[in-house]
């Protein structure tokens, strides 16, 4: 490597270190609605180049270029992680998400749940973990991301009291998180395109997917079979409320 190349790499690393220092001071804080591209810049401008230059995807936990996703710990939360595409996809309203060739972010996020379990102060079962994406109006970052964390215990109780069906959508009222439609799917069904399933099967989602907020939570049927429950609401909702970022075992 010649002197010019060395100098270029040094400058690139220096810029990365400056960006990383700024990130560490502020974090990709989703409360800072004024900067709606911050999460994308962290993934694209810092994590990716850090992986390339030094083999460490900081501040992300992982950058998987082959599958097309990055994983990072949400600032200020001990257990919550964010799974983010490494290509620019604005959010739930993007038509790209309905294409059959788009990588399955839900399946990837579920397979990353070990990072939630590893940070939790208690053992987590299949039904303790869930994933959520907020609607276009409820989010503060204009880059698609899935929240992965513990399921709110109130939701688990509601699903036990009103087991969802697998042959259709059941209304479920959650006083702290608004009204949802729920459907049970099998463990292997997570390989399906959940975004397209909701768009095709729920009338409120047709032509207005940006208003949808979705969650997919682990579920154990009364028979003991493991699967998932998909929850969808078309009212500009905030499905992240279905997760418990304190990861408490019981929440009233």
pLDDT of residue 43: 97
Contacts by 119-124 with C-beta closer than 8 Å and gap 24+?
119/73, 119/78, 119/79, 120/78, 120/79, 120/150, 120/247, 121/78, 121/247, 122/247, 122/249, 124/150, 124/247
Domains detected in the chain? 3-244 (3.30.428.30)
pLDDT of residue 251: 56
Cα within 13 Å of Cα(10), Cβ side: 7
- Reported pTM: 0.87
pLDDT of residue 13: 55
H helix or E strand, kind and range, residue 95: none
Query: Could you read off the pLDDT of 185-225 as tens digits, one per residue?
Result: 999 999 999 999 999 998 776 667 788 899 999 999 888 89
pLDDT of residue 21: 46
Residues of the chain predicted below pLDDT 50: 9-10, 14, 18, 21, 24-25, 27-33
pLDDT of residue 28: 47
pLDDT of residue 172: 94
Helix (H), strand (E), coil (C) string for 118-178 = HHCCCCCCHHHEEEEECCCCCCCCCCCCEEEEEECHHHHHHHHHCCCCCCCCEEEEECCCE
pLDDT of residue 244: 96
Question: Phi and psi (nearest 5°) for 88?
Answer: -75, 115
């Amino acid at each position: 490597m010649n002197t010019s190349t060395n100098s270029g790499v040094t400058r690139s690393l220096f810029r990365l270190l400056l960006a990383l220092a700024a990130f560490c001071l502020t974090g990709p804080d989703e409360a800072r609605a004024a900067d709606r591209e911050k999460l994308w810049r962290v993934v694209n401008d810092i994590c990716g180049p850090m992986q390339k230059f030094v083999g460490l995807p900081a501040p992300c936990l992982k950058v998987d270029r082959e599958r097309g996703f990055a994983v990072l710990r949400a600032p200020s939360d001990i257990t919550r992680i964010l799974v983010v595409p490494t290509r620019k996809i604005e959010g739930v309203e993007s038509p790209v998400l309905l294409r059959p060739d788009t990588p399955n972010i839900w399946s990837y996020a579920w397979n990353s749940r070990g990072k939630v379990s590893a940070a939790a102060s208690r053992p987590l079962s299949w039904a303790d973990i869930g994933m959520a994406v907020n609607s276009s109006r409820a989010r503060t970052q204009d880059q698609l991301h899935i929240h992965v964390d513990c399921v709110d215990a109130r939701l688990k109780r509601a699903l036990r009291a009103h087991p969802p069906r697998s042959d259709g959508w059941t209304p479920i009222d959650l006083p702290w998180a608004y009204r949802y439609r729920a459907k049970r799917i099998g463990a292997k069904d997570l390989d399906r395109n959940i975004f397209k399933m909701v768009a095709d099967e729920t009338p409120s989602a047709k032509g207005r997917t940006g208003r949808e907020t979705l969650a997919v939570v682990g579920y154990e049927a009364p028979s003991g079979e493991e699967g998932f429950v998909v929850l969808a609401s078309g009212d500009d909702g905030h499905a992240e409320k279905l997760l418990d970022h304190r990861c408490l075992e019981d929440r009233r």
